[in-house]
Every structure is written in C-alpha cells, then in structure tokens.
Amino acid sequence: MQFDSWQAFWAMGGYGFYVWLAFAVSLLALIVLIGHSLISRRNLVRLIGREQQRLARIKRSQARRQTADQFEVDDEPQT
C-alpha cells in the first residue's frame, strides 16, 4: 500500500484511529509480556540461588554433625 502523504499514512484511508489503536494495544501487550518475563526470570534466578545456598548449608550442617558423631564414638570408653 502506498500513501501520497504522511497525513494519508496516519489516516489510513479513514481507518487510522482503529489501526493505530490496535497497533498501540499490541505494542503495550508485548511490552507487558517482556517486562513480566524479565521479572519472572529475575525472581527464578534469585529463588534458585537461595535454594542452592540452603542446600549448601544443609550439607555443611550434616558434615559437622557427622564429624561430631564420629568424635563421640571415638571418645566413648571401650569396655
């Protein structure tokens, strides 16, 4: 489609309001989708990091507990 002027381009043959409104709504939906995706990704990365830290703390605690249990067993008098 070819337009004679910028005014004709913006008017879109009398349907400009609807065309540009649809364009704006579509663009807004894409921006919201991108923003939501970025926020969700950031939250997921944070959640994964916290979970990894939690698992590391659990492993350290289990290792300490196991070491402490070994010392207790070694310290018990043998009869």
Q: Can you give the length of the chain in residues?
A: 79
Can you tell me which residue has the tokens 């290792």?
Answer: 63
Mean pLDDT, contiguous 10-residue spans, the chain (79 residues): 86 93 98 99 98 97 86 62
pTM assigned to the model: 0.65
Burial of 20-40, coded b for 16+ CB within 10 Å and e otherwise, reads eeeeeeeeeeeeeeeeeeeee
Model pLDDT, residue 76 = 59
Model pLDDT, residue 49 = 98
Model pLDDT, residue 74 = 59
Model pLDDT, residue 66 = 86
Radius of gyration of the chain (CA): 32
Tell me 12's DSSP state. G
